[in-house]
């Protein structure tokens, strides 16, 4: 009886072979058409600079009209050409047809007025000049903190709104109001 159980166990385990993911072939691995170190890309409209992207590395994929940049910094400019905010992130993707941007990984924006925004991903919609994110977002302004999901804003974070799970921590400045 013990020998029959052992034989059954060997038969059962023989059918449980490990399955490995298929190894990608050379045709599955896409090489960039161009690569660059210390990469800079500037977007202008009617002769005015809208933004400048700087990256430690960038790969260009011509058939996708895509630039995949690493360790990025993007400086945004107002309509007078003055820098209004700076975004940093681990990675940035630029659609070269629309100049829309996607920033991913430790995304941080700071404006020239000191407003800060943190998230794990966001998109810059070039046609509307808006920053949007469905991820969790934290905005800090003069000690006040607003968090939530469904973020939309202008590049200098002056006019923003959150759609879901909005929470705010407002600092008491000690001016006016009733005390307990």
Give residue-wise pLDDT tens across range 57-84: 999 999 999 999 999 999 999 888 899 9
Q: How far is CA 104 from CA 35, 54, 90, 140, 144, in A?
A: 20, 15, 6, 20, 25
* Of 75, 80, 127, 77, the residue nearest 99 (C-alpha): 127
Tens of pLDDT, residue by residue over 109-149, are 999 999 999 999 999 998 998 999 999 999 999 889 999 99
Tell me: pLDDT of 9 over 60.
no
H or E segment to which residue 11 belongs: helix 2-14
Beta-sheet strands, E only, within 17-65:
34-45, 48-61
Check if the beta carbon of residue 94 is closer than 8 Å to that of residue 41.
Answer: yes
Check if the beta carbon of residue 131 is closer than 8 Å to that of residue 120.
Answer: no
Give the burial class of 125: count Cβ atoms within 10 A of its Cβ; 0-12 exposed, 13-18 middle, 19 or more buried. Answer: middle
Q: What is the pLDDT of residue 63?
A: 93
Map out the domains of the chain with their CATH numbers. Answer: 32-169 (2.60.450.10)
Entry pTM: 0.76
| CA–CA dist 126, 80 (Å, integer) | 17
Contacts of 14 (CB under 8 A, 6+ apart): none
* Of 73, 7, 86, the residue nearest 40 (C-alpha): 73
Give the DSSP letter of residue 13. H
């Amino acid at each position: 009886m013990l020998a029959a159980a052992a034989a059954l166990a060997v038969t059962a385990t023989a059918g449980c072979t490990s399955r490995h993911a298929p190894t990608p072939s050379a045709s599955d691995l896409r090489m960039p058409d161009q690569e660059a170190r210390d990469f800079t890309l500037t977007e202008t409209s009617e002769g005015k600079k809208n933004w400048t992207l700087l990256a430690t590395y960038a790969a260009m994929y011509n058939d996708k009209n895509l630039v995949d940049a690493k360790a990025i910094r993007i400086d945004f400019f107002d309509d007078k050409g003055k820098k209004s905010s700076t975004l940093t992130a681990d990675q940035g993707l630029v659609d070269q047809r629309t100049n829309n941007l996607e920033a991913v990984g430790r995304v941080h924006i700071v404006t020239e007025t000191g407003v800060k925004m943190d998230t794990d991903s966001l998109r810059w919609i070039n046609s509307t000049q808006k920053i949007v994110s469905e991820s969790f977002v934290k905005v800090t302004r003069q000690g006040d903190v607003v968090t939530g999901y469904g973020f939309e804003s202008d590049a200098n974070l002056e006019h923003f709104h959150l759609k879901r799970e909005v929470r705010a921590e407002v600092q008491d400045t000690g001016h006016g109001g009733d005390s307990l």
